[in-house]
Amino acid sequence: MNPWLRVFAPFAAGYYLSYLLRNVNAIIAPELTRELGVSAADLGLLTSAYLLAFGAFQLPLGILLDRYGPRRVESALLLIAAAGCAVFALGGNLAELAGGRALIGLGVSACLMASFKAFSLWFPAERQASLNAAVMAAGGLGALTATTPLSWALPVAGWRGVFFVLAALAVVAAAGIFSTPDKAAAGSRETLKEQLAALGGILRSRVFWRFAPQTACIVGGFMALQGLWAVPWLINVNGYDRGAAAFHLLLTSGAMLAGFLSIAAFVTRLHRSGIPPQAILKTGMGGGLVAMLLILLGIGSTHVLWFALGLVFSVGNLAYALLSSHFPAQLSGRVNTALNLAAFVGAFGLQWGFGALVDALSHTGLSPQEAFRWTFGVLLALQAGSYLWFLLGERRRD
C-alpha cells in the first residue's frame, strides 16, 4: 500500500483529534459555567493545565520518539488522552476537570511531533515541508470541527457525552497509528546518555537559537491571539459584538487552513523553481508583522487583515523542516520537540503576559481600548525583534 495512506493518513487523523481536543473547551465553556459553577479564572486554569502538561513533555518526548519511534510512542500516549477524556467527562469539580485536561494535554503532546518524525523516516527530505503542512491542515480541520459542528452535537449528547465520544475516537486513533508499518530509527541504537548529550548539543547550537526566538514570539504570539486574545481585542478596540468578533476568528482559522493546504501543494514545486522554503518563511513572517501593524493602527478592513493574519502565519510550520535539515535524521524528534517547546513557552508566556499587562495598564487609568493597544504594540515589538534576529542569522555561520 502507498506510504501516503499507510503512514500519513493515520498520523494526520491523530493530529486532527489533537487540535479538536485543544479547542473544545471554548465551545463547552457556558455548559461548564452553568452546570459546575466554573468561573473565568477556573477556565483559565483548565487551559493552563493542558498547555503545561503538553509543553513540559516536549523534551522527554523527543528522546522517546528518537529511541522507540513514532508508532509506539504516539499510540501509547493517545491511550492516555482517551483516559483524560473519560476523567473529564466524569469530573464533578475543578480538580477532576483540571486533571482530565492535563492528561489530555500529555496524551496529545506527540501528535504533531510524531507525525514529523514518521515523515522523516518514510519520505525523502525534499517532501518534508509539504508533508508537514499537510498534517497541519488536518489540525486546521480539527480546529474548525471544534466550532459550529461541535455546537450542533452538544444538545444531542451533552458535554459529557461529547467527551466520551472523544475518548472512543482517541482509542481508535491509537489503534490506527499502532497498525502503521514500523521503521527503526537510528536513534534507537543510542544510549540514553548519548541521546541526552545530543539534545544538549541541539539546545546549544547557534542554528537552534536562530529559529527559536522567532518561533516563540511570532508563532507563539499568534497562538496566544488565536487561542484567547483576538476576540477581546476585537470587542474592546474595534467595538464588535461577540458574534462579529467570533466571525473574524473564523476567518483567521479558515485562512490558516488555506495556508497549510497551499504550502502542502506548492512548496516543493516552488523550491524546484528556485524559491526555497526559507524565502517563503521570511516572506510570510514579514507579511504577518505588516498585518499586525495595520491591525494596531486600525488601517484597512478588519476582515481582510484578520484573514491575512491566519494566511501568512501558516508558513511558520516551515521552521521545523528547515531547522531539522541542519541535523542528522536520527535527531529529528529531539530537534522538532525542542522547537515546539519554544512555541508553547511563547504561547503560554505571551497569553498570560498579554492579560497581565492589560490589567496593569488599566490600573494606571488607561481605558480598555488604550490598554489593549499598548499591549498589542509591545507584542508586535517583541515579534519584530525576533524577526530581525532571524534575518541577521543569515549573515552568521550556523
Task: Find, among 316, 326, 336, the residue nearest to 383 by Cα.
Answer: 316
Q: Describe the crossing of helices 192-204 and 58-68 by its angle, rounded to 10 degrees.
A: 130
Helices of type H across 273-366: 277-297, 302-313, 318-324, 332-363
Q: How far apart are CA 90 and CA 257, in angstroms?
A: 33
Task: Find, among 375, 352, 344, the residue nearest to 362 by Cα.
Answer: 375
- Taking residue 93's Cβ as centre, other Cβ atoms within 10 Å add up to 11
Q: What pLDDT, on the 0 to 100 scale, is given for residue 187? A: 47
The answer to whether 217 and 386 are in contact (CB under 8 A) is yes
Q: How far apart are CA 109 and CA 283, in angstroms?
A: 29
Architecture of the domain spanning 1-125+154-189: Up-down Bundle (1.20)
Q: What pLDDT, on the 0 to 100 scale, is given for residue 235? A: 85
Instruction: Give the residue extent of every domain in the chain.
Output: 1-125+154-189, 190-398
Q: How far apart are CA 393 and CA 118, in angstroms?
A: 29
Domain 190-398, CATH 3.40.640.10 — does that match? no
Domains 1-125+154-189 and 190-398 share a fold: yes
- Taking residue 33's Cβ as centre, other Cβ atoms within 10 Å add up to 14
Q: How far apart are CA 314 and CA 220, in angstroms?
A: 12
Q: What pLDDT, on the 0 to 100 scale, is given for residue 39? A: 64
How does pLDDT run along the chain (398 residues), one tens digit per residue? 566 677 788 999 999 999 888 777 767 767 777 777 766 556 666 767 787 888 889 888 888 888 888 989 999 999 999 999 999 999 888 889 889 989 999 999 999 889 888 887 877 666 767 777 788 888 888 877 876 777 788 888 888 999 999 999 999 999 999 988 776 655 456 777 888 888 899 999 999 999 999 999 999 998 888 766 887 888 889 998 867 887 887 888 888 888 888 887 788 788 888 899 899 999 999 999 999 999 999 999 999 999 999 888 888 888 988 998 888 877 877 898 899 889 888 887 887 788 888 888 988 999 989 999 999 999 999 999 999 999 998 765 44
Q: How far apart are CA 314 and CA 280, in angstroms?
A: 11
What the block records as the C-alpha cell of 297 is: 493602527
Helices of type H across 205-301: 206-214, 220-224, 230-236, 242-272, 277-297
The H or E element spanning position 132 is helix 128-145
- Taking residue 175's Cβ as centre, other Cβ atoms within 10 Å add up to 13
The answer to whether 239 and 123 are in contact (CB under 8 A) is no
The answer to whether 98 and 46 are in contact (CB under 8 A) is yes
